[in-house]
Chain A
Amino acid sequence: MSQTGRPPASRLEALLRGGHFAVTCELETTDGADPESVHAVADPLRGKVDAVNCTDNSAAHPHISQVAAAHLLVDRGIEPIAQFTCRDRNRLGLQADLLGTAALGVRNVMLMTGDDVSAGDHPEAKAIYDLDSLHLIRIARILRDDGTYLSGRRLTESPRFFIGAVENPFAPPLDFRPIRLQKKVEAGAQFIQTQICFNVSKLREFMARAGELGALDRVFVLVGIFIPRSLRGARYLRDQVPGIDVPDWVIERMEGTPAERQAEEGRRIALEVLHGARELPGVSGVHLMSIGGREDILALIEEAGLLPRPEVAVPTSA
């Protein structure tokens, strides 16, 4: 993997550069004004995953700020990945928060467009979309490497970031997706977390094409794995969450399983996808998601034989 000569910004970056298979997961969203509610969902993940995504008003519902949550994780010795969407902030707000998040000791950022406000509980809100995700990725690199804002005005100290982005290999236009990945790499993305994968053959085609374009020599790809808990949950994902390809076999297997054993079957499905994805050239890790069930995530990590997590030297924070 030919990344640049700079030392790794984070433990996650060091681990990926060291050729380890990385495991990340999403922090459950919380809605309290106390640090304890974040600690409660984060603490069980310590030592079980390499980094934890703090989402930015996920599914267009407000929750505790991802910058605050990420900082609380740093305090607890858990490495965060702070997500930023283009939905709620313009270029001023995003740059301010990128700097602020770096000042609070957060080194991994994940930059994306974001779900539309129409998907959330404030559909009447004004969506911003001043920038798109490609712009935001490049601006993070400008802050880091050039030491200036987008305007060219100088920073007194540049942030150290490991820059992440998302891609969806499973949504149309399928032929364009690897090109879009390549564009993100060109703009500055160093690692990718994909949308939820059930369709390993689609992922295989995507990875093969991205490899041909040369993108995989310059970026680490972590495949999104979802653990369905019930038939209802799997159907919800297929019908209500835009951009997710839930093939019929997933629904059929959940249908053929009695309700009390569906959680177990869901984990088995996730495990199969995980093993399938792990075999593909260019896949450097997995990003685990489940709706409100960190027990499922922890159980899957155990069952997939992903413990113990590797030790790497933690870069000294500047």
Chain B
Amino acid sequence: METANARGRPKMGLGTRAILLVEKVTKEPLWDCRMCGQCILHSTGLRCPMTCPKNLRNGPCGGVLQNGNCEVEPDRTCTWVVAWERSRKLPLWRDHMEHLNPPVDWQLEGTSSWVNLLTRRDKLVPAGWADEQVKRE
């Protein structure tokens, strides 16, 4: 967790664009990835949280239907029901479902989460959030 308020979208050179392309063509079909640029699949049972119509990053809303389907798209299973069930079967990261994931940085939407992971850009959170984190730990 780092404490600066990041301003602006990361610059994308030719190399970054190439990585972005590879990431898109692998993650979109595999996980229905929505390219938020700050991947947390490890704390969501490898179910992309951005497929939730409410973009929830920390678990299901209260509107999940009794059959486990989504209240907004009642013909499919709730993103977080899938996330929870899959996370129980994963050999690792099971406890990551308990993590408090920070608010989405919308500046990263459409950029490569792999590059953002390497540059640690995806660790930058607003200063108020980071201060609170430090205080509680």
Say if A and B assemble together: yes
8 A Cβ contacts from A232-268 to B? 242-243, 245
Known: A132-B54, A150-B129. A172 touches B100 (CB 8 A): no
A contact residues, range = 35 or more
Most buried by B among A112, A145, A176: A176
Set A129, A167, A179: member contacting B98, Cβ < 8 A = A179
Chain A residues lying within 8 Å of B135, measured Cβ to Cβ, are 146
Q: Which residues of A contact B (CB under 8 A)?
A: 86-87, 91, 112-113, 115-116, 118-119, 127, 129-135, 138-139, 141-142, 145-146, 148-153, 166-168, 171-173, 175-176, 179-180, 182-183, 186-187, 195, 242-243, 245
Q: Is the CB of A172 within 8 A of B58?
A: no
Spot the interface stretch: B12-20, B28-36, B102-110, B113-121. Answer: B102-110
A294 to B: closest C-beta gap in Å: 24
Q: Is the CB of B66 within 8 A of A179?
A: no
Known: A171-B64, A171-B66, A172-B64. A146 touches B103 (CB 8 A): no
Chain B, 59-95, contact with A by CB distance < 8 Å: what is the 0/1 string?
1111111111001100000101100110000000000
Chain B interface residue count, Cβ-Cβ cutoff 8 angstroms = 40
Q: Which residues of B contact A (CB under 8 A)?
A: 5, 53-68, 71-72, 78, 80-81, 84-85, 97-98, 100-104, 106, 126-132, 135
Q: Is the CB of A173 within 8 A of B80?
A: yes
A305 to B: closest C-beta gap in Å: 30
List 12 extra interface pairs beyond A112-B62, A113-B54, A179-B98, CB under 8 A.
A86-B54, A113-B61, A115-B63, A134-B58, A142-B132, A152-B131, A176-B59, A183-B100, A186-B100, A242-B64, A242-B65, A243-B61
